[in-house]
């Protein structure tokens, strides 16, 4: 690169577009350390289903914010923002570039915008709303959310029960919409930061890639990983870690609610829906460049960084 290196590079994009491989190559070229932006990879024992970097990849480039919580524990955007800032400071102290790579945009927005403290929800309210989900289903609760908090309903997909639950829990507990606690600020990049996104040009190819990757996860032992998690004392399907795409459907299969073929079909469909939501969110994100996911490589990424007129 002809220009000075940026202090922080963001590499975002929907799932299954090759972010991890590009981040590894880019980090080696930039002398960077990777700060992972993934709400599921923070959990220990969730390796295959989250496509977590393996030990060989971690040996090539330092990775941060992997395996920092047990799956019985909780982790949220506010905790990520605090941890990521600490990682960035430490990386800069070592004279290196911080490369934030991942697809959890809520975490990135919390880092850039800040996040308002969420109200406490009484356990009785939480259980009542979860009982409604069990008996009425997520589509019905999403309709209830549209009446209670239209702004949140626009942002939350009808097939995203975890976020629907959270929004309704807050409304039932406080009488105020969740959106009133999520004002934040406009997502702006600090001076010198660069933001790139892998962008699929062929949506059907991405859909096929998602299915292929899930089948590869099954071949790599994802079922054994699910069974090991289900055997952990104190871990249930209701823990936030187990609401991750693929894991939620895996628990339904292990609990006998669906057959294996349906588990596979539902997991792939949920991953495709996740990719669609990620693309929608990225359209509102401050990006310097979109890289074609089908042919993105380290040279293309470096060129996008160097071409920005404000770089350096």
Q: Which of 181, 208, 231 is the last residue of a domain?
A: 181
Q: Answer for the pair 201, 279: CB distance below 8 angstroms, yes or no.
A: no
Most distant pair of Cα atoms in the chain: their distance: 60
224 and 111, same structural domain? Answer: yes
Local confidence band at 42 (pLDDT 50, 70, 90 cut-offs): very high
Q: Answer for the pair 27, 99: CB distance below 8 angstroms, yes or no.
A: yes
Q: pLDDT over 70 for what percent of the chain?
A: 93
222 and 103, same structural domain? Answer: yes
CB neighbour burial string for 141-176, b if at least 16 within 10 angstroms, e if fewer:
bbebbeebbeebbebbbbebbbbbbbbbbbbbbbee
Question: Is residue 86 one of the residues assigned to a domain?
Answer: yes
pLDDT of the residue at 308: 63
pLDDT of the residue at 202: 95
Mean pLDDT of 63-68: 98
Mean pLDDT of 3-27: 91
DSSP 182-194: -------PPTT-E
Mean pLDDT of 266-273: 97
Give Cα separations from 203 to 165, 278, 279, 300 (angstroms).
Answer: 30, 13, 11, 21
213 and 90, same structural domain? Answer: yes
| Residue 176 belongs to domain spanning | 123-181
283 and 210, same structural domain? Answer: yes
Residue-wise pLDDT for 210-248, tens only, equals 999 999 999 999 999 999 999 999 999 989 899 999 999
Question: Is residue 187 one of the residues assigned to a domain?
Answer: no
Question: Is residue 61 one of the residues assigned to a domain?
Answer: yes
252 and 165, same structural domain? Answer: no
Q: Answer for the pair 230, 32: CB distance below 8 angstroms, yes or no.
A: no
Residue-wise pLDDT for 141-187, tens only, equals 999 998 888 878 877 877 778 788 888 998 898 888 876 765 555 56
211 and 287, same structural domain? Answer: yes
Q: Which of 20, 4, 8 is nearest to 198 (CA)?
A: 20
CATH code for position 151: 1.10.20.140
Residue-wise pLDDT for 112-132, tens only, equals 987 666 677 888 888 899 899
Question: Is residue 1 one of the residues assigned to a domain?
Answer: no
Residue-wise pLDDT for 252-265, tens only, equals 999 999 999 999 99
Question: Is residue 245 one of the residues assigned to a domain?
Answer: yes
142 and 271, same structural domain? Answer: no
Is the pLDDT score of 2 beyond 60? no
CATH code for position 74: 3.40.50.300
Question: Is residue 242 one of the residues assigned to a domain?
Answer: yes
pLDDT of the residue at 4: 61
Q: pLDDT over 90 for what percent of the chain?
A: 68
226 and 103, same structural domain? Answer: yes
Q: Answer for the pair 157, 168: CB distance below 8 angstroms, yes or no.
A: no
Q: Answer for the pair 54, 61: CB distance below 8 angstroms, yes or no.
A: no
pLDDT of the residue at 312: 38
75 and 50, same structural domain? Answer: yes
21 and 127, same structural domain? Answer: no
**Average pLDDT taken over every residue of the chain:** 90
Phi, psi torsion values for 309, nearest 5 degrees: -65, -20
**Considering the entire predicted model, what is its pTM?**
0.81
Residue-wise pLDDT for 192-202, tens only, equals 999 999 999 99
261 and 150, same structural domain? Answer: no
- Count of structural domains, the chain: 2
52 and 24, same structural domain? Answer: yes
Question: Is residue 188 one of the residues assigned to a domain?
Answer: no
pLDDT of the residue at 69: 97
Question: Is residue 286 one of the residues assigned to a domain?
Answer: yes
Give Cα separations from 173 to 156, 182, 288 (angstroms).
Answer: 19, 16, 40
pLDDT of the residue at 152: 80
Is the pLDDT score of 205 beyond 80? yes
Tokens of 199: 């962008």
Mean pLDDT of 90-98: 96
């Amino acid at each position: 690169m002809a220009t000075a290196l940026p202090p922080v590079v963001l590499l975002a994009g929907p799932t299954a577009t090759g972010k991890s491989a590009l981040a590894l190559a880019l980090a080696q070229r930039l002398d960077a350390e990777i700060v992972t932006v993934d709400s599921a990879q923070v959990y220990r024992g969730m390796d295959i289903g989250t496509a977590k970097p393996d030990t060989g990849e971690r040996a090539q480039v330092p990775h941060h914010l992997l395996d920092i919580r047990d799956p019985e524990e909780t982790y949220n955007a506010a905790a990520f923002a605090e941890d990521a800032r600490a990682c960035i400071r430490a990386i800069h102290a070592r004279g290196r570039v911080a490369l934030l790579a991942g697809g959890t945009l809520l975490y990135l927005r919390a880092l850039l915008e800040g996040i308002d403290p969420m109200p406490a929800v009484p356990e009785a309210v939480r259980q009542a709303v979860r009982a409604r989900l069990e008996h009425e289903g997520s589509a019905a609760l999403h309709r209830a959310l549209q009446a209670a908090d239209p702004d949140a309903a626009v942002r939350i997909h009808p097939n995203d029960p975890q976020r629907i639950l959270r929004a309704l829990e807050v409304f039932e507990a406080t009488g105020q919409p969740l959106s009133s606690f999520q004002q934040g600020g406009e997502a702006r990049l600090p001076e010198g930061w660069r933001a790139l996104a892998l962008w699929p040009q062929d949506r059907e190819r991405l859909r096929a890639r998602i299915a292929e990757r899930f089948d590869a996860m099954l071949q790599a032992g994802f079922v054994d990983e699910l069974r090991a998690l289900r055997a952990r004392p104190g871990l249930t399907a209701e823990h936030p870690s187990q609401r991750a795409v693929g894991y939620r459907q895996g628990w339904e299969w292990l609990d006998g609610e669906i057959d294996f073929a349906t588990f596979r079909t539902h997991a792939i469909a949920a991953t495709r829906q996740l990719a669609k939501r990620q693309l929608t969110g990225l359209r509102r994100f401050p990006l310097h460049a979109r890289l074609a996911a089908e042919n993105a490589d380290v040279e293309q990424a470096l060129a996008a960084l160097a071409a920005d007129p404000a770089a350096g």
